[in-house]
Each structure stands twice: as C-alpha cells, then as structure tokens.
A = this chain, B = another copy of it.
Amino acid sequence: MNNNLLLEKQLCFRLYSLNKLMCRLYAPVLKDLALTYPQYLVMMVLWQYKAGISVKDLGAKLDLDSGTLSPLLKRMEKQTLIKRERDTKDERVVLIKLTQKGIELQQSAEHIPAKMFAVTGLSPEKLQALNLTLDQLIDNLGD
C-alpha cells in the first residue's frame, strides 16, 4: 500500500498548519489594535502607501480579489481606520487612504515584528534562509 497520502508527509499540510498557527499567535497581539490578521496585512500596505492605493493594486499586493477585499475594507471603514474615495481621474477606481486614526495606529504596531520574530525561536540567519526558500517556492508555484 502506497503511503504517500499520509498527512504528515505533505508540504501543503505543514503550510496549512503554520498559517493557522501564525494567525492564532498574532490574534491576541492584534486584538490590542482591534485588527484581524488580514486587516493587519492591509494596514501594512497602507502604512507603506500613505498617499493612497487603489483596491486593485492593494489586491495585487495581497493576492486577494474584490470578493474578499470589498467587505473587508468596508469593515475597516466602519472602524474609521480608512477612507474610500472614487478616483476623479477614473471613476471605476476606488482609492483607499488611511485616516488619522489609521496613521496613528502604526505606532502601536511597531513592536509587533520583533515580538513575533522572537516567538519563532529562529536565529536571524535561519529566518533569512527560510524566507529565501519560501520566496523561491512562491516563485515556483507561479504567483
């Protein structure tokens, strides 16, 4: 009997498990900022693009489509973290911009990366090596 179908052998299951573990580890930290994990990812993009970014470009960065982003962004708008404005140059485009509250939240998030790095228990070198391997894999999987 072929045993290649064992759960423990699958790379995909490791990635599935790790993603869930990460979400759970971030959850209590992000709760202080009243953010969910995907909302935190959105905020990281917006902190980088303070002039604003279209839903489309945001989706390209996060690899998420409008079916996910539209309701997610509406919830964030309701929390007054972001504003949504039609682009006057192209009315199809919705530009996402941080509110003052959204901008200020960055300070409260500055400590998170170091904190989460510590949780991984990896040395800086191991982390970098892992990141490189994962980037290569993302590339191979034809992102």
Measuring CB to CB, which residues of chain A are less than 8 angstroms from any residue of chain B?
2, 4-7, 9-22, 25-26, 37, 41, 44-45, 47-48, 61-63, 106, 109-110, 112-114, 116-117, 119-122, 126-127, 130-131, 133-135, 137-138, 140-143
A135: B residues at CB distance < 8 A: 14
Cβ-neighbour of A7 out of B19, B37, B41, B109 (below 8 A): B41
Extra 16 A-B pairs, beta carbons < 8 Å, given A5-B44, A5-B48, A18-B138: A4-B114, A5-B106, A7-B62, A11-B117, A11-B130, A11-B131, A12-B22, A14-B135, A14-B138, A15-B18, A17-B63, A20-B63, A21-B63, A21-B141, A120-B140, A121-B137
